[in-house]
Amino acid sequence: MMSEISRNGATGGGQPGRIGIGLELDEIHMKILEVLRENGRISVAALAERVGISRANAYTRFEALRADGAIKRFTAEIDHVRTGLGITALIFVTVRQQMWKQFRAELARMPEVEYCAITTGQHDAMIQVRVSDVAAVHTMVTDRLANIPAVKATETVFILDEVLKRPYVLPSDRDQAARAQRRPTPETQGDVPLGKMRFVGAAEGRAALRKDT
């Protein structure tokens, strides 16, 4: 039902961290992942053909990727609107320090939470919830989250539209985007003042896009 997933170690960049433990991923492994993220139910035989290796090899690599953990699981993407959970919201949570364990434990008891990440910045965590109506969001925030001592404050935002959702990003995508990257002149930074990445004041002229709460 729930799953602990890899720590990022956002300081990263330097040490290889957990990378390299287990098998080395070559180009063919990446190709396999590429196919599998688009069609998780493809047969290994068809996979072998699309990647250009023998069936036996495909079975070996497929199993290796699974055993190594590079492939964590296979899943079905579901249309939430069709299943009656058409409302999606993001709740930014400020957590009392040293009460993280409790916060995590409570999260596990909330099935409407699809995703939770610990973030830098103004808040400590972001959770994404899927519910049937806007009232359920309010209930969730005021009744359930508010009852967790670890939660100091929240800020809720509704998702109006999910524009893009890629199955899973892979490094090989970068290569395909190489040409897309060649644009007028990289030096010309346009008219957008983005020197610092954080806390660029961004509250102006967006009176629209606001229909709730």
Q: Are 87 and 134 in contact (CB under 8 A)?
A: yes
Stretch touching DNA by CB under 7 A, among 38-46, 65-73, 96-104, 177-185: 38-46
Residues 181-210 that bind a copy of itself (CB under 8 A): 181, 183-184, 186, 188-206, 208-210
- The number of beta carbons lying within 10 Å of the beta carbon of residue 29 is 18
- Report residue 25 as tokens: 């991923």
Q: How many CB atoms lie within 10 A of CB 121?
A: 9
Residues 39-68 as x/- pattern, contact with DNA by CB under 7 A? ----xxxx------xxxxx-xxx-x-----
Q: Cβ closer to DNA: 122 or 172?
A: 172
**Count of C-beta atoms within a 10 Å radius of residue 21:** 9
What residues numbered 125-164 form the site for a copy of itself, per CB under 8 A? Answer: 125-127, 129-130, 132-135, 137-138, 141-149, 151-164
In the set 28, 30, 70, 170, which binds DNA (CB under 7 A)?
28
> In 3-state terms, what secondary structure has residue 6?
coil
Closer CB to DNA, residue 31 or residue 130?
31
CA 2 – CA 109 distance, rounded (Å): 9
Residue selected from 4, 26, 27, 101 as contacting a copy of itself according to rule CB under 8 A: 4
Q: Which is nearer to DNA, 59 or 158 (CB)?
A: 59
Determine contact, residues 147/139, Cβ cutoff 8 Å: no
Q: Does 180 bind a copy of itself (CB under 8 A)?
A: yes
d(CA 96, CA 31) in angstroms, rounded, equals 43
